[in-house]
């Protein structure tokens, strides 16, 4: 059985769904005493992540911190020559560009771009480096109130897609998947 570390509150949102499909996973969030808004805590998480087989970078941190956490974890695992699988949770909003001051879309675009950059290293390096996978979801049911009338994906379904990536054979890398709920 794979040892899994997940960022996010296991009582809320996608992290709650992930707690259901990975009942033995460990979680890191402000609710578990580790606020990832602080660099020292992010550094500690990066060092801790290499004790695991899978690191799920789930938290939607602001100020590009989800991307920065990916960088810290990847570099720590690379230095340790650890065969870590990093799964980042993105958003399909990264495909949209509209006149807005909302930075969330740009943060998710940065995460997607950096995941793609690192996943290429996962595939093409001749030595062991961490694998990186990105899965981006459209609106999940925990955000239904923000989007009245939109059909949202269930948390359970989203968590099952993450589980599918985690359980993929070790000789392949699922680089990127984008999943949206049909609106019909």
pLDDT tens string 2-59: 999 999 999 999 999 999 999 999 999 999 999 999 999 999 999 999 999 999 999 8
Q: Quote the pLDDT of residue 128.
A: 81
Question: Helix, strand or coil for residue 140?
Answer: strand
Query: Residues 133-156: what's their mean pLDDT?
Result: 90
Name every residue whose Cβ is closer than 8 Å to that of residue 14 and which is 6 or more positions away in sequence. Answer: 8, 58, 89, 137, 140, 142, 155, 158, 159, 162
- Could you tell me which residues are beta bridge partners of residue 153? 140
Mean pLDDT of the chain: 92
H or E, element range at 20:
helix 13-21
Q: Quote the pLDDT of residue 120.
A: 94
Query: Residues 138-160: what's their mean pLDDT?
Result: 90
Kindly give the residue spans of alpha helices, DSSP state H, lying in 80-184: 104-124, 155-166
Q: Quote the pLDDT of residue 21.
A: 98
H or E, element range at 6:
strand 4-7
Band the pLDDT of 94: cuts 50, 70, 90: confident
Per cent of the chain over pLDDT 90 is 74
- Could you tell me which residues are beta bridge partners of residue 88? 57, 134
Kindly tell me if the per-residue pLDDT of 71 is higher than 90.
yes
Q: Quote the pLDDT of residue 108.
A: 92
């Amino acid at each position: 059985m794979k040892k899994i570390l997940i960022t996010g509150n296991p009582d809320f949102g996608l992290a709650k769904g992930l707690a259901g499909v990975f009942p033995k996973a460990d979680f890191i969030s402000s609710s578990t005493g580790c606020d990832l808004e602080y660099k020292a805590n992010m550094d500690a998480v990066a060092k801790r992540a290499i004790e695991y087989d899978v690191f799920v970078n789930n938290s939607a941190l602001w100020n590009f911190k989800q991307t920065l956490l990916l960088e810290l974890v990847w570099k720590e695992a690379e230095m340790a020559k650890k065969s870590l699988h990093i799964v980042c949770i993105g958003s399909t909003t990264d495909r949209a560009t509209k006149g807005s001051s909302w930075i969330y879309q740009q943060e998710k675009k940065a995460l997607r771009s950096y995941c793609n950059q690192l996943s290429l290293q996962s595939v093409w390096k001749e030595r062991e480096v961490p694998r990186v996978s990105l899965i981006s979801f459209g609106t999940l049911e925990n955000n239904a109130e923000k989007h009245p009338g939109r059909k949202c994906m269930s948390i359970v379904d989203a968590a099952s897609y993450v589980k599918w990536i985690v359980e993929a054979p070790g000789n392949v890398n699922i680089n990127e998947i984008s999943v949206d709920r049909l609106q019909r």
